[in-house]
Amino acid sequence: MGILQQTFSLKKSQIEKKWYVIDAEGKVLGRLAAEIAYVLRGKHKPLYTPYLDMGDNVIVINADKVLLTGKKPQEKEYFFHSKYPGGSRFVNIRKMLEKKPEYILYHAVKGMMPKNKLARQLMGNLKIYAGSDHPHKAQKPEPLELKF
């Protein structure tokens, strides 16, 4: 008989979080969102635990310079509703890119997260800015190289 091995389970106190900064200029929206979601979940770490907030903090700059491929600039729309009869609104992605470029990337990343309480907690680790500067210099974020 061999020796039984127990499954290693990481505890919340053993998690080490880093800060990363990503420049979104010239990056395709969906591929960028997938990479951000991957880092926010913590799947890039060898001790990934699905039920814990393992992910790192991500700062995204230049969100207004993200690329849209295909016919998305002409055809993609966001749907909003005021909860009153006839209160539906459709906003084209180009107008959203002008008004709130942070919302586009936030919405894309949120759609790639699990649909539970943990996802709401993980989305708090994401900071998105339209310009090139951010107020998180004290955290000493490292630039993150994307795989695509």
Does 62 fall in a domain?
Answer: yes
Does 64 fall in a domain?
Answer: yes
Does 11 fall in a domain?
Answer: no
Count of structural domains within the chain: 1
| pLDDT tens-digit map of 43-82 | 999 989 899 999 999 999 999 999 999 999 999 999 999 9
The H or E element spanning position 77 is strand 77-81
User: How far from each other are the two terminal CA atoms of the chain, in whole angstroms?
Assistant: 47
Q: What's the token pair of residue 3?
A: 């020796």
Q: What mean pLDDT is reported for the chain?
A: 94
Does 9 fall in a domain?
Answer: no
* Confidence band of 1 (pLDDT split at 50, 70, 90): low
CATH number of the domain that residue 101 is part of: 3.90.1180.10
| pLDDT tens-digit map of 47-56 | 898 999 999 9
Range of the domain at 60: 18-143
DSSP conformation class of 92: E
The pLDDT value given to residue 8: 81
Does 113 fall in a domain?
Answer: yes
Q: Enter the pTM of the model.
A: 0.90
Strand order in the sheet with 126-128: 126-128, 57-61, 19-23, 142-143
The 3-state DSSP class for residue 25 equals coil
